[in-house]
Amino acid sequence: MPFWSKTIAAPRYIDTWFNDRQPRFLRLTPPAEPRLPDGLSPPVRLTDDDVGVVAAFWTASYNGDDWYMDADPKWVSKYLEDEGVVALGLYNNAGKLVATILSVPFSGTVTEISTGTQLNYGAMRVIEGLCIAKEWRGKGLAGYMIGMMDCWTSVKLPVAHLWLRETATAPMMSTALRTDTYAMVRTKSLLGSVSCEKLEWSQFVDIWERSCGSWLLNQGEGNPLPQIISRKPVNRSEHIDIWITKKRPDSAAELRKVVAVVNTRRRAIPGDEQIFEVVWCGFLVGGRLKPNTGTRGFRPMIESIGVGYKHSILFASSGFMGGEARADWPAPWKYGRSGVHTWNIYNYMPPAFGNCEIMVVRDEI
């Protein structure tokens, strides 16, 4: 994609070879505006007045070979009415919407980085909702939309962007912050063995905000683990469930497992099953949350949670936050057949490439 080869703000492969992790924006000034492709009108900022058009466009065009987006207008409105979200739409000269892209704040407040830096609200953002009409794909429109969003969001101050990318296989060379392999299961095939209950979202946020500052302290060695941390989870669409193992009546301060599951708004083709994904795993102990750091014991809980999502598909992944899925997870799990997902960063030097933990619970388009 020409955008990535021409910008100075994209990490380079050579950056992964050295240990210079001085926290910094890679570009401090706004970029030049990319050239508008022929046959299109300049992009406009989408608002809540555009909900119907955007919902119809995503339903028709936001899809893959085996899934489509269930773009209910009420859900779309949650993004377009949020002043912190920048949503751009691109129309052809006939007035038809042909592309969208959104830039959404990563955290509900500041973003903490293990190199000792805090980024204010909105300075770390996530690219979402990048959707191109079928007839315009393969013509460089995705790069143009990313370039335009870069211009819009960095007019006043430099901004860093994260984005998630799904691919069939892990790349041989990459500047990704991390790459995790998916495992999937149809929930109708699961049997529960762990007693779980839901934790109220407001209670979870309160505990997270009181706990996450301590995650920057390494367990035993005194050096921060490479992490990017959202100081406040975001459940804009109310599509995130927080599950916790039930407390035993004979234990006053036992360790309880916590799993966050998000409704992705995607539906399977064929079958029309809803698709859910595990996005964070950890523990509640002594009134504080602790992220999973390698216990490899979350599969029974994830399966028990899955039983409650009837006629659905549940994804986990190989990273600590995704449940530590492994190739030896028994049937009905299918590991490594749904590709990988990578966290990538733009216009900021991350604390690490390849093994940076992204500590966040948020909904995403």
Picking from 140, 166, 192, the residue at the C-terminal end of a domain is 166
Query: Helical H runs in the chain?
Result: 2-6, 51-61, 73-80, 141-153, 201-211, 299-307
Q: What is the pLDDT of residues 63-105, one digit of tens each?
A: 988 999 999 999 999 999 999 999 999 999 999 999 999 999 9
**Do 206 and 229 fall within a single domain?**
yes
Query: Given CA atoms 1, 341, 119, 175 in this order, what sign does their dihedral have?
Result: negative
Q: Distances in Å between the alpha carbon of 102 and those of 255, 278, 335, 360?
A: 39, 23, 31, 18
| Parallel/antiparallel/unpaired status of strands 67-69 and 160-167 | unpaired
Domain membership of residue 149 as a residue range: 2-166
Query: Which tokens belong to 15?
Result: 């950056």
Picking from 113, 143, 166, the residue at the C-terminal end of a domain is 166
Determine, yes or no, domain membership for 365.
Answer: no
State the pLDDT confidence band at 221, using cuts at 50, 70 and 90: very low
How many domains are contained in the chain? 2
How far apart are the C-alpha atoms of 353 and 344, rounded to whole Å?
Answer: 9
**Do 148 and 186 fall within a single domain?**
no
How far apart are the C-alpha atoms of 125 and 111, rounded to whole Å?
Answer: 10
**Do 118 and 93 fall within a single domain?**
yes
pLDDT of amino acid 3: 62
pLDDT of amino acid 252: 58
pLDDT of amino acid 251: 62
**Do 298 and 162 fall within a single domain?**
no
Determine, yes or no, domain membership for 212.
Answer: yes
Closest to 133 in 3D by CA, of 91, 76, 87: 91
The DSSP annotation for 308-341 comes to: TSTTEEEEEESSTTTB---TTPPTT-EEEEEEEE
Section 38-62 average pLDDT: 96
pLDDT of amino acid 261: 98
Q: Which amino acid is at 132?
A: I
pLDDT of amino acid 4: 59
